[in-house]
Amino acid sequence: MAKYRKLGRTSKQRKALLRGQVTALIANGRIVTTEARAKEVRKFAEKLITLAIKEKDNFEEVTVTAKVPRKDKDGKRVKEVVDGKRVTVYDEVQKTIKKDLPSRLHARRQMLSFFYPVKEVPKEAAGRKRNTKQIDLPAKMFDEIAPKYVNRHGGYTRIVKIGQRKGDGALEVLLELV
């Protein structure tokens, strides 16, 4: 008996499909797919969530001094003339950042190697490139998803059967984070 389902695809296609579906599951919280795919996606998603739970609190807060461009009331950068050139004016600001310890950094890089990049597009700017922002999925895993499942030992996803698909009769399911 095989340890995984082949899903009727070559290994590269199968890995790409699973990566895409796990990325969509983490980004949106739920996906609709076939039962066989959902059972495979569940394996990868639960491993990544377990990794996030283990490394959730493994960081230190560091205060750094950063140069931030000064902005006017319209949100544009303030410029002044120095030696005949227009130069942006910067202010120094103290910021507190989270610095990952080595094991959390390794976990973050493992997640980044698995997830596809995801962009969030605001509804009013649909179809445009302006105001789109990149979602940091490892940060979402550490900050939002992991604290929710701290007291839970596995079983982070749920499969709910929806019914048969009209075209080919495959059993469709809703795979969601519990």
Candidate from 50-59, 78-87, 98-107, 109-118 with smallest mean pLDDT: 78-87
Write down the pTM of the prediction: 0.85
CA–CA separation, 30 and 114 (whole Å):
18
Q: What pLDDT shows up at residue 155? A: 95
β-pair type (85-88, 79-82) = antiparallel
Q: What pLDDT shows up at residue 121? A: 82
Burial of 166 (0-12, 13-18, 19+ CB in 10 A): exposed
Q: What's CA 4's distance to the chain center, in Å?
A: 25
Starting at the earlier edge strand, list the strands of the sheet with 30-34: 30-34, 171-177, 157-164
30-80 pLDDT, tens digit per residue, is 999 999 999 999 999 999 999 999 999 999 999 999 999 999 988 889 999
Q: Domains for the chain: give ranges and CATH numbers.
A: 11-58+101-177 (3.90.1030.10), 59-99 (no CATH)
CA–CA separation, 176 and 178 (whole Å):
6
